Amino acid sequence: MVDFLYFHVGRYGWPAFNLADSAITLGVGIMLWSQLRDARQPPTGEKPS
């Protein structure tokens, strides 16, 4: 199984990166974004006093 990806076009190449680490970083970022978004929304179902 290939874990590191390296893309190039002609003589130009993009730095190699680890696919598994990228997926973990993306997942943690989505989790944090979701939790911050939910924390900013008012609770539903409660009547204002």
pLDDT along the chain (49 residues), means of 10: 80 83 93 87 65
Q: In this structure, is residue 49 part of a structural domain? A: no
38 tagged catalytic: no
Q: In this structure, is residue 48 part of a structural domain? A: no
Of 7, 13, 16, 21, which one is the catalytic site residue? 21
Q: In this structure, is residue 45 part of a structural domain? A: no
Q: Range of 21's domain? A: 4-40
Give 44's Cβ-side CA count (13 Å radius): 2
CA atoms of 33 and 29, how far apart (whole Å): 6
3 tagged catalytic: yes
Token pair listed for 42: 């008012």
Of 3, 8, 9, 38, which one is the catalytic site residue? 3
Task: Give one DSSP letter per residue of 1-49, joined into a string.
Answer: ---EE--EETTEEPPPEEHHHHHHHHHHHHHHHHHHHHHHSPPSSPPP-
What pLDDT shows up at residue 13? 86
Its pTM surpasses 0.75? no
